[in-house]
Amino acid sequence: MLHQIIRSDIQEMTAYSVADAPSSCIKLDAMEMPYRYPEELKARLGRLLAEAPENLYPNPAASGLQEALRQAFGISDKADIALGNGSDELIQLLTLLVAKPGAKVLALEPSFVMYRHNAKLFGLEYIGVPLNEDFTMNLPAVLSAIETHQPALVFVAYPNNPTGVCFKREEVQALVDAAPGIIVVDEAYGAFSGDSFLPQAGSRSHLVVMRTLSKIGFAGLRIGYAAGHSLVMRELAKIVPPYNMNQLSLAAAKFALQNRAWIDRHIDILKQERSRLSEAFSDLGMKVFSSEANFITVKVNDAVKVFETLRQNNILIKKLHGTHPLLEQCLRITVGTPEQNDAVLNVLKNITTSILKPN
């Protein structure tokens, strides 16, 4: 009975699986920031949250968080800002915005899985353009696919997940220039890279720049934001659920932005650790893809073996192997604290080179 009522394409989907890791585990699978607030900041945040009006519906538009984001990240007055319950929600709403029969969504492959997922969910055709083998962009192929398919929506992750590679700015600019519909530059890892399209937000009517607080310390708050021209953002605002953000997250996010120095200090540490880990991985024989994110993607000879060995040593990373042909024998490791990274290196040092070094 129910299986006749519920959409068969949804019945065929598998749920996004969140690894349930024991709390003792070194969790390097989901690009979470490994640092927590020190006691003093925790105490101040605690007092602030106690004052947040949990009895009242939130008013995200009047919360002041948009203004705080504008100040903190230099978003132009020309851009409107939308808040999402994680940027995942904004990906969903941006897709819904263009979900007309026959409309297409285009993204690069492999990239963030939610682009395809949401396209399918809203009945849109999904065009995935493969990256080059080194995870750089095949610009002529993307431009030609845009020309052929005239996608209503293009997603580019800049830097890309799950590869960590940042495309060239000129390439992304070329996609912005060529896109006939909305183009979303997803900068979930923007804080860890040297470049951003955020200053351009608001200057082109079809450009939306999306960011999140998740990768810079606050994945638990679920705060994503998108900045773009009012022509798009005004329409988006109509379909954002009125109470999509909650009082506690709004208050905690504003507090986080008032304490920017804490965030920046830890981003710096993680960037240094990214260099150190990349070099060490290379020295161990693994192929390292140059990352501008807070994770490192590597290719080894036996990804399953490396993944399992780390797992046995209480370290959880992401096994990319098996998720896309270009990701054969690939693993993704979130950059952790120096101690966590040392633990990873200690395990890897005891794995023979023939398993680590790709053919």
- Interface segment toward ligand PLP; rule CB under 6 A; list 34-42, 83-91, 100-108, 333-341: 83-91
In the complex with ligand PLP, the residue whose CB is nearer, 108 or 233, is 108
- Interface segment toward ligand PLP; rule CB under 6 A; list 44-52, 84-92, 124-132, 281-289: 84-92
What mask of x and - would describe binding to ligand PLP in positions 89 to 118, judged by CB under 6 A? Answer: -----------------------x------
Q: Classify strands 26-27 and 224-228 as parallel, antiparallel or unpaired.
A: unpaired
Q: How far is the CB of 249 from ligand PLP (least distance, A)?
A: 11
Query: Residue 40 half-sphere exposure, CB side, CA atoms within 13 Å?
Result: 2
What mask of x and - would describe binding to ligand PLP in positions 33 to 72, judged by CB under 6 A? Answer: ----------------------------------------
Contact indicator for 333, 298 with CB cutoff of 8 Å: yes
How far is Cα 117 from Cα 119, in angstroms, rounded to an integer? 6
Q: How far is the CB of 356 from ligand PLP (least distance, A)?
A: 26
Q: How far is the CB of 16 from ligand PLP (least distance, A)?
A: 11
Q: Which residues pair with 355 in a beta bridge?
A: none
Contact indicator for 158, 136 with CB cutoff of 8 Å: no
Contact indicator for 78, 202 with CB cutoff of 8 Å: yes
State yes or no: residue 188 binds ligand PLP (CB under 6 A): yes
Core vs surface per residue 278-295: b (16+ CB within 10 A) or e: bebbeebbbbbbbbbbbb
Spell out the residues 6+ positions from residue 131 whose beta carbon is closer than 8 angstroms to its own. 108, 109, 110, 137, 138, 160, 163, 326
- Interface segment toward ligand PLP; rule CB under 6 A; list 4-12, 85-93, 242-250, 263-271: 85-93
How far is Cα 359 from Cα 355, in angstroms, rounded to an integer? 10
| Contact with ligand PLP (CB under 6 A) among 63, 66, 87, 297 | 87
Query: Residue 313 half-sphere exposure, CB side, CA atoms within 13 Å?
Result: 20
Q: How far is the CB of 113 from ligand PLP (least distance, A)?
A: 9
In the complex with ligand PLP, the residue whose CB is nearer, 157 or 298, is 157
State yes or no: residue 291 binds ligand PLP (CB under 6 A): no
What mask of x and - would describe binding to ligand PLP in positions 191 to 220, judged by CB under 6 A? Answer: ---------------------x-x----x-
In the complex with ligand PLP, the residue whose CB is nearer, 60 or 86, is 86
Beta strands in the chain (DSSP E): 26-27, 80-84, 104-109, 125-130, 153-157, 182-186, 207-212, 224-228, 287-288, 295-299, 315-316, 318-319, 330-334
Total residues in contact with ligand PLP, by rule CB under 6 A: 12
Q: How far is the CB of 315 from ligand PLP (least distance, A)?
A: 20
Residue nearest ligand PLP, CB atom distance: 86
| Contact with ligand PLP (CB under 6 A) among 151, 224, 228, 336 | 224
Contact indicator for 26, 339 with CB cutoff of 8 Å: no
How far is Cα 100 from Cα 175, in angstroms, rounded to an integer? 22
Q: Which two tokens stand for residue 147?
A: 């020309």
State yes or no: residue 341 binds ligand PLP (CB under 6 A): no
- Tell me the CA end-to-end span of the chain in Å, nearest whole number: 51
| Contact with ligand PLP (CB under 6 A) among 29, 88, 273, 292 | 88
- Which position has the token pair 């949804």? 10
In the complex with ligand PLP, the residue whose CB is nearer, 58 or 224, is 224
| Contact with ligand PLP (CB under 6 A) among 161, 196, 329, 341 | 161
Q: Note the residues at the interface with ligand PLP (CB under 6 A).
A: 86-88, 112, 157, 161, 186, 188, 212, 214, 219, 224
